[in-house]
Amino acid sequence: MALSPAVVSKRIRRLEDRLGTRLLQRTTRQIALTEAGQGFYERIVAILASIEEAEAFVSRRSALARGTLKVSAPTSFGRMHIAPYLGEFLEANPDLGVNLVLSDDFVDVVGEGYDLAIRIAELADSSLVVRRLAPAHRVLCASPDYLEAHGTPKSIEDLSDHICLAAAHQDPWRLEGPGGPVAVRASGPVQTNSSEVVRELTLAGVGIALRSTWDIGPDLSAGRLKIVLPEYRASRHVGVYAVYPSRRFLAAKVRVFIDYLANLYGPQPYWDQGLDAVLTKRIAAA
């Protein structure tokens, strides 16, 4: 232990003073345990063995994905891009369960006991640990019926003459365009807190909306929606992120889920497949 006999003797004396009894019987020829010292030693060894066993137990558990993983995710994204893949994930991790809570509110990850949250936002200043899972392209779009009835806006100023649809937490629209950042107030006859309601209204031809391609990719590919003002885009810093409380001692159940989603989505997520030409043109114009 790299300790001198004098240091060891001093520490033993302090321990005996604290316990109020002699632990070692010292003579000029030998040192032997007293009866109290023998009993104390046996009990301390048992306690230390229990601590070692407890640490080994926790280490084994932390290396395996098991238990219940509590995850928060936005309602639409969770329904469309997490729920369909949970079966495959659980099959690969049979000792793991998932409690998936869908909400469009930013939950208190630590205070409400979540292991992680999926957020679609700009999180440069987050106090939590953040890992980017995928880009989140957002485009201005409308249905062909709406554009036929109301015309296609030619400039950002033209939006003031159109019905613009947005959920309460998405107003105003913060866009980037040829002239730099611009904010657009989304004014329309419908007020809602639901992003899914906005999507359905847009498909029904009620107005123009700012939507993520993960949400409307198939509708763009099928021609049910069309991009308008392609030179304008939402902030390029917005992405799909996993956020969790601590990078230190990251539980295996959290790590394997984040890795699974990162591999599933990636820098060119599957929901943007088929939209490459549209997005490239739009980004180049911006």
For residue 181, the model assigns a pLDDT of 85
Distance in angstroms (rounded) separating the CA atoms of residues 231 and 23: 83
* Structure confidence at residue 285 (pLDDT): 42
What pLDDT does 284 receive?
41
Q: What was the pLDDT predicted at 143?
A: 95
What does pLDDT average to over the chain? 85
- Please give the pLDDT value at position 282: 47
Would the pLDDT of 286 be above 50?
Answer: no
Give the chain's largest Cα–Cα span: 108
Q: Tell me the Ramachandran region of residue 116: left when phi exceeds 0, alpha when psi lies from -120 to 50, beta otherwise.
A: beta
| Segment among 128-142, 207-221, 243-257 with least mean pLDDT | 243-257
**Across residues 24-41, what is the average pLDDT?**
87
Whole-Å CA distances, 25 to 29, 34, 36, 194: 11, 6, 11, 78
pLDDT at 216 over 80: yes
Instruction: Band the pLDDT of 272: cuts 50, 70, 90.
Output: confident
Q: Where are the beta strands (DSSP E) in 185-254?
A: 208-212, 226-227, 233-234, 239-244
Neighbours of 147 (CB within 10 A): 18
Cis peptide before 218 (omega within 30 of 0): no
Structure confidence by residue, pLDDT tens digits, 53-78:
777 666 655 567 788 999 999 999 99
Q: Model's pTM, two decimal places?
A: 0.71
Q: For residue range 96-147, what is the model confidence (pLDDT) as tens digits? A: 999 999 988 888 888 888 889 999 987 765 667 889 999 988 899 999 999 9
CB atoms near residue 231 (< 10 Å)? 18
Question: What is the mean predicted confidence (pLDDT) over 13-36?
Answer: 89
Report whether 158 contacts 138 (CB < 8 A): no
List, in order of start, the domains of the chain with CATH numbers: 1-61 (1.10.10.10), 64-136+238-272 (3.40.190.10), 138-233 (3.40.190.290)
* 189 band by pLDDT with thresholds 50, 70 and 90: confident
Tell me the pairing of strands 116-121 and 67-73.
Answer: parallel
